[in-house]
Structure 1
Amino acid sequence: MKKILYTIIACAVLWACNMEEIPEAQISVEPVFGSETGLEMYTNSFYEVLPTRTTLYTNSYYIAVNSVIKYLTENGFSSQESSGWNWRTLRNINYFIANCDNESVPVATRNNYLGIARFFRAYFYFDMMKRFGDLPWVGHPLDVNDPLLYSARDPRALIADSIKADLNFAIAHISNERDATCSTITKTVAAALKSRVCLWEGTYRKYHSEEGLQSTANQWLQEAADAAQIVMDEGYSLYTGGGVENSYRALFVAKTPLSSEVLYAVTFDSDLGVVHSGNRQWTSVTFGSCPSLVRPFVHTYLKLDGTPFTNDAGYASKSFVEECENRDYRLSQTIRTPGFTRVSGGAVVPTAPDYAYAITGYQTSKFTLDDTQYDNVDVCDNNVILFRYAEVLLNYAEAKAELGTLTDGDWAKTVGALRARAGITGGLTTKPKTVDPYLQGEFFPGITNPEILEIRRERGIELSFEGFEWSDVCRWGIGEQLTKDWEGIYIPEFEVPYDMNDDGKLDVCFTKQLNPSDKVPGVYYLYVGEKLSNGANNNSQIADDGHTLVFMKDQKRTWHNKLYFYPIPANDLVMNPNLGQNPGWN
């Protein structure tokens, strides 16, 4: 619904942006900047830059995808293929900021809309900074003769300071503290973004000694905690209306944002034809990249008593059905586990993972509407959440843990509350005192602080597939994790059909035969031999242990620290050689 409004408004804004190219005797900026209605219409155009579906990052330490990642292939990516150096959005924002000075509009009103504009400028620059590092700071609309068009880049530290200044202004001047419709930028949304930015910057400085900024990391971490506290003081709460088995997923399949927890979401309306293709993204083999969790990450989900699943003897050889039992309820609300159902033709149908899609055996269900009628057409109207309270709680907890100031009370109201929502009963009120050796050894070998380890566990689980994966890899400096094999489910026996959702019907057989005979009707046969009939390597193979499914076992991914930032696109360097290339790229 918002999209239709913004599209209409965009026409007016394009006219406004080109005003100065029209002789002043014919037109002026007065119609837009001389009234609150004009300011509101203009700032509404900024919302067009926000994503309209969950952003999937293939560069993740816990997600496998059905594609070769060129970015992680040795010599597979260059500045010729880089993209994203686009500044059109910034000019639109800067034009508004430069012209929002009409004294016929009250100062508080102007500052409110300036706060919204500066929020969007911060949002734009934060994305650009995470992608490219150093950037030119442009604080005014450029004309064709502006020397900044051919200037060098400013240091990333200056960009970070400028982003923070914009967000401080937004927090101080946006008049609405929260919005029940979750569809406008408010003071608390600005504070949530500030907590995200400051946490990123503080941890990046801490874990990247090459930046030479480690001594300033704590200042940013404290500001992350302070910004999160602004949101926490506003009265938000975790949504629990669906009980431990449904509340988490209910957030993502709801049409109307659940405003107790959601700060901002993109909303849709099928009656108006404003829809998205979410179900196709998560169910169609041909539409998307089939993002699936890897088994080592699935093992990080705790048991319901709050103890690690990996403490159990024989955990590594448990079948899919066995490893789904007695686990954090977010597992069954993130992937298809035994008991998962869908609606087909009005009937509730037990549904196993689709092994044509589930490349590791773990098929995502977190964002998928239950009715199968939504799978093959673009008709989904569930909201797409961009800011929610759970992330803010995790930002607060991580910042405090990194500072060494996390208390039991902090733990209880952040990680403890999130785990309680997921049905976990143990370890909710006191912060952890011992390191989980599996979590440390498998994902974070350089971390010895049990608080930080557990918060990273929680962040991965709570925010899975929500677009934070690559950002976390970069700020924590764990790029080497991206080179690991994509391990899937454990297969006890081959050539034996299995009931994977425990409904009494056989679903899949893992076979090493190219053309197995005597197939059982209704069973999907997944070939896991090494070679296809044409001699090419098979994507689905078995690990050296003889039982673990591995996807794209022969794809060799490599890591170099230059990959933390993308190269400046070659064409942009040709137009402005003063930009300089990022270290390690040519």
Structure 2
Amino acid sequence: MKRIYILFIIAFSFSSCEKLDQAPRSTVGKEAVFESENGLALYSNSFYDILPTASDILRGDAMSDYIARKEVPDFIRPGAYGPRQSTGWNWSELRNINYFIENNNNISVPEETRNHYTGIARFFRAWFYFDKVKRFGDVPWIGKSFDVNDPELFNGRDSRVLVMDSVLRDLDFAIKHIRTTNDGSRSMITQPVAYAFKSRVCLFEGTLRKYHTSYNLASTADEWLTQSADAAKAVMQDFSYSLHTGGGASQAYRQLFTSKSPITSEVLLANIYDDELALYHDANWYWTSATYGDRANFTRSFINTYLNLDGTPFTSNPQYETMVFSDEVKNRDARLSQTIRTKGYTRINGGNVIASPPEFSYTYTGYQPIKWTLDDTFYDSGSRNDNIIPVIRYAEVLLNYAEAKAELGALTDQDWAQTVGALRRRAGIMNAPMPAAADPYLQREFFPEISNPALLEVRRERGIELALEGFRFYDLVRWNKGKLLEKTWNGMYVPGLNIPLDLNEDGVLDVAFYKSMPSTPVAGVTYINVSDNANGRPNPLVLSQGDKGEIIWLNTIPRIWEDKFYLYPIPESERLINPALGQNPGW
């Protein structure tokens, strides 16, 4: 279990059933749970497993436009994914929540107290349903705990309109009745957390309705966007959060993700890990191992979106396409050097500080992530990480506000300065006014249909600030930009064959690319074969111009996006049980 608090739930434990007709079982009677605030608090702790785990967040962007990885995800590989492979139709948490809401009516507990805990339950029901709607679209709205003989168990699905309206009502109830406004541990649900999550939900729904015209819901998009902006503004105005700036521009951003305790100025909600309690996750193992995990690394198309430190687009440099790695990472947005390995990045190995350029035993593109990893190699083998995992940050709230206002055509210079401008100043970009002209690179490579300069920049900022935090896939979904998942997985520029490169300018040569291995290879250099064929088959790693150019990874396997992919298929096994569920379009 991912929360320290849940370790102390000894009064009762709940079964992990998947069916809607199974009641949660406890080691004590119902009266003992619902007749006191302590019982309500203990029960409500069981809801927290609905929140994303460290694994969910760390791997959440593994299928996105800006990540190159070991293998093409089955979901976008032709013929590899369908109803038989689909998962996610699990309803056990909902049964647990509804049972609590139905039974939290003991008048011996003050009404304000009961409403507080019902508010927490309804917050989690909203989270549960938001996840389901994102994945499947129409789903059954279930507001009660079912009896085994209830015929409604075999109803069909309800419309996303009904379900999302119900989600919004749950969140509004939670905001109104949750009494806690501050939790020092940052591991519990509070009123500002509910506001922040509402801003996330409403931004998703508003932009999805705007850009997916096939739903015929565009006329309601602005209502959701306004609700998103209002909820974000409440966090900004009514609570004491701020962007973390400790350590200065060169350290503040990454500290949020490597800290052993939540940085409470910015983190609203986090998963807590702790060495003393043997609570760990596997960030280092996942992001450094040549054999474990996805070997996920960034594409050059995305790295190009990081601005220069003076606030100008990197791609405004006429030579940007042919700049080698050691040059292209200089004088950029300070978040770049806190997100990938660049010059000056070091690690600790056996107590010794060692220079640590990108390692081509892990990376395919040269852009190796460090955002979540601890710098001591001790953490690289197995699940050893005890750094916290932010689930909701103030930075996201600012971006939600900026995007909602930009989509509404109401983003002011003051709004910009408080949101995108503030995030860029934290990253060392002091000249960050709201733009007057659209960046042609962003339009050409990502969003040709967007002409609003401010909206383009908000999307740039969201990609950079929230990179590897699990947002990107569903950002592409709501923007109707799934086709970006077909983009070439490109890497750093290689100026020629058999030219050893010093990636971090420490005087030690690191990597060279060859079609014919040199007779006298340079000691310590990693040599990468970029021949057209390797081991009797097409080489998955080549250069874009044959003997020079960008690294191109895994173009040998097709990636295809179809409109049906905006929703996952209903699992085949579930439709056999309940044919009334139907199937999503195209599946």
- Shorter-normalised TM-score: what interval? over 0.9
- From 341, 354, 362, the equivalent of 1:357 is 362
- Other-structure match for 2:584: 582
| TM superposition shift of 1:198 | 0.1
| Counterparts of residues 534-553 of structure 1 (less than 5 Å) | 535-544=536-545, 546-553=548-555
Q: Which residue of 2 aligns with 1:559?
A: 561
Instruction: State how 1:111-122 maps to structure 2 within 5 Å.
Output: 111-122=115-126
What is the CA–CA distance in structure 2 between the aligned matches of 1:162 and 1:439, rounded to whole Å?
A: 36
Query: Which structure 2 residues correspond to residues 392-431 of structure 1 after superposition, within 5 A?
Result: 392-427=397-432, 430-431=433-434
Q: Which moved more, 1:214-223 or 1:520-529?
A: 520-529
Deviating more after overlay: 345-354 vs 388-397: 345-354
Query: 3-state SS of the aligned residue for 1:264?
Result: strand
Q: What corresponds to 1:530 in structure 2?
A: 532
**Offset at 1:75?**
2.3
Deviation sequence 1:1-30 (CA, Å, 0-9, x none): 96454255277142899999799xx97411
Residue 437 in structure 1 maps to residue 440 in structure 2: yes
Correspondence for 1:61 = 65
What are the residue-to-residue correspondences of 1:177-188 with 2, within 5 Å?
Answer: 177-188=181-192
Q: What is the match of residue 131 of structure 1?
A: 135
Distance in 2 (CA, whole Å) between partners of 1:162 and 1:298 is 39
Within a 5 Å distance, the mapping from 1:423-572 to structure 2 comes to 423-427=428-432, 430-513=433-516, 515-533=517-535, 535-544=536-545, 546-572=548-574
Q: Equivalent residue of 1:12, what SS?
A: coil
Deviations 1:183-238 (A, max 9, x none): 11000111111000000000000000000000110000000000001111212000
1:415 positional shift: 0.1
Contact 1:19 1:29 in 2 (8 A): no
**For the residues of structure 1 that align with 2:120 and 2:562, how far apart are their CA atoms?**
38
Q: Deviations over 1:237-273 (max 9, x none)?
A: 0000010000000000001100000000011111121
Farther-moved stretch of structure 1 (399-408 vs 142-151): 142-151
Deviations 1:62-97 (A, max 9, x none): 111111222112222110111111101110111111
Q: Distance in 2 between matches of 1:353 and 1:444?
A: 30
Could you tell me how far apart the structure 1 residues matched to 2:165 and 2:449 are? 29
User: Which TM-score applies when normalising by structure 1?
Assistant: 0.96
Once the two structures are superposed, what CA deviation does each residue of 1:329-377 show, in whole Å capped at 9, x if it has no partner?
0000000011111111222211110111111110000010011111013
State the alpha-carbon separation in 1 of the partners of residues 401 and 22 from structure 2. 45
What is the identity, as a one-letter code, of the residue corresponding to 1:273? Answer: A
State whether residues 50 and 127 of structure 2, in contact with CA within 8 Å, keep that contact through their aligned partners in structure 1. no
Correspondence for 2:78: 74
Task: List per-residue Cα deviations over 1:427-450 (Å, max 9, x = no partner).
Answer: 2xx421100001111000111111
Q: Output the CA distance in 1 between the equivalents of 2:378 and 2:24.
A: 51
When the two chains are superposed, the root-mean-square deviation of aligned CA atoms in Å is 2.1
Residue identity in the other structure for 1:217: A
What is the alpha-carbon distance in structure 1 between the residues aligned to residue 120 and residue 325 of structure 2?
A: 48
Question: Matches of 1:266 and 1:20 in 2, distance apart?
Answer: 28
Bigger CA drift: 408-417 or 431-440?
Answer: 431-440
Q: For 1:295-315, what per-residue CA distance to the aligned partner results, in whole angstroms no more than 9, with x for missing partners?
A: 011111000110101111111
Residue type of the alignment partner of 1:95: Y
> Which amino acid counterpart does residue 32 of structure 1 have in structure 2?
V
Following superposition of structure 1 onto structure 2, how do residues 88-237 of structure 1 map, counting pairs within 5 Å?
88-233=92-237, 234-237=239-242
Question: Which residue does the alignment assign to 2:325?
Answer: 320
SS in 2 for 1:219: helix
Determine the structure 2 residue equivalent to 1:258: 263
The alignment status of 1:307 with 2:312, answered yes or no, reads yes
Distance 1:195 1:537, change over 3 A: same
Q: Which amino acid aligns with 2:166?
A: S
Deviation, 1:102, is 0.6
Q: Deviations over 1:536-565 (max 9, x none)?
A: 222211124741101102121111100000
Asked if structure 1 preserves the Cα contact closer than 8 Å seen for 2:2 and 2:53, the reply is no
Instruction: Call closer, same or farther: CA 1:15–1:432 in 2, change over 3 Å.
Output: closer
SS of residue matched to 1:201: helix
The whole-number CA distance in structure 1 between the counterparts of 2:502 and 2:362 is 17
Distance 1:340 1:404 in 2: 41
Kept in 2, the 8 Å contact 1:134–1:153? The answer is: yes
How far, CA to CA, are the matches of 2:16 and 2:457 in structure 1? 50
Q: Which runs of 4+ in 1 moved over 3 A?
A: 1-5, 15-23
Farther-moved stretch of structure 1 (338-347 vs 197-206): 338-347
Change (3 A) 1:500 1:15: closer
Change over 3 Å in CA distance of 1:383–1:452 after alignment to 2: same
Does the residue aligned with 1:271 lie in a helix, a strand or coil?
Answer: coil
Partner of 1:335: 340
| CA distance in 2: counterparts of 1:4 and 1:157, whole angstroms | 36
Identity of aligned residues (%): 51
| CA displacement, residues 3-61 of structure 1 (integer Å, 9 cap, x when unaligned) | 454255277142899999799xx974110000000000000111122223124233312
**Structure-1 separation of matches of 2:404 and 2:469:** 20
Structure 1 residues 368, 288: closer, same or farther in 2, change over 3 A?
Answer: same
CA distance in 1, matches of 2:24, 2:427: 59
- Corresponding letter in the other structure for 1:106: P
CA distance in 1, matches of 2:418, 2:28: 56
1:240 aligns with 2:242: no
Structure 1: 5+ residue stretches without partners = none
- Bigger shift: residues 179-188 or 43-52: 43-52
TM-score by length of 2: 0.96
Distance 1:403 1:415 in 2: 16
* Alpha-carbon distance in 2 for matches of 1:557, 1:445: 21
C-alpha deviations, 1:85-140, integer Å up to 9, x for none? 11011101111111111111001111111111111111111111100000000011
Looking at structure 2, the residues matched to 544 and 131 of structure 1 have their Cα atoms a distance apart, in angstroms, of: 39
**Matched AA of 1:472:** D
